[in-house]
Homo-oligomer: A and B are copies of this chain.
């Protein structure tokens, strides 16, 4: 039997992976059917059966939401990288994904959070290096001392956030860069989100 998945089966498997790895919870037949516009759960059911037969998933019978992925190699899930950020030399954020990285299954993305790749060594004093992926959560209020991604004049920076009495300071880790004081000069100033973590894949060696 061919182990190849058909186009639709592949789409469904991708949806499963996306839900399980991204949301952390496998979808029900009804949810999957709804997502693909099927009027009937049985359609999904049969696709899952086919996918299971080809060895890509395993289902615990009779239990809801218990699809398991059996892809030993699939410990990494493709995720869109939305842009690049740096401190010191701000770069523009791109509207669409600039790249896709393989995020490991350990890294579950909180709702609405996204990934940015760090470019350059200007954050090296914060132990963040060229190529590292920062996970940005836009749903959290920044607290003093936390790293934030902020927009200044259509460019993105990663800096530490400090709210003072009358102003906001964005402090660079590298003492060569002086703190940015946010006042009326920056009408377009915007906090994109806070950096909740740094992930570095151990797969490939990066250039020092």
Residues of chain A touching chain B, judged by Cβ–Cβ distance below 8 Å, are 20, 24-26, 28, 64-65, 72, 75, 104-110, 113, 127, 129, 135, 137, 140, 145-147, 194-203, 205-206
Q: Which residues of B contact A127 (CB under 8 A)?
A: 127, 129, 200, 206
Q: Which residue of B lies closest to A143 (CB)?
A: B203
Copies in the complex: 2
Question: Mostly helix, strand, loop or mixed at chain A's interface?
Answer: loop
Q: Is the CB of A106 within 8 A of B65?
A: no
CA distance A127 to B199 in the complex (A): 11
Q: Is the CB of A108 within 8 A of B24?
A: yes
A97 CB to closest chain B CB (Å) equals 19
Q: Is the CB of B106 within 8 A of A196?
A: yes
Contact of A64 among B28, B106, B199, B201 (CB under 8 A): B28
Other A-B pairs beyond A75-B196, A127-B127, A199-B199, 7, CB < 8 Å: A75-B110, A104-B197, A105-B110, A106-B110, A106-B196, A196-B202, A197-B199
A111 CB to closest chain B CB (Å) equals 10
CA distance A106 to B200 in the complex (A): 13
The interface centre, meaning the residue of A20, A24, A72 with most chain B CB atoms within 10 A of its CB, is A24
A118 CB to closest chain B CB (Å) equals 12
CA distance A186 to B110 in the complex (A): 43
A156 CB to closest chain B CB (Å) equals 17
Contact of A75 among B24, B65, B106, B140 (CB under 8 A): B140
CA distance A24 to B113 in the complex (A): 16
Contact of A145 among B64, B110, B205 (CB under 8 A): B205
Q: Is the CB of B104 within 8 A of A196?
A: yes
Q: Is the CB of B200 within 8 A of A65?
A: no
CA distance A28 to B60 in the complex (A): 15
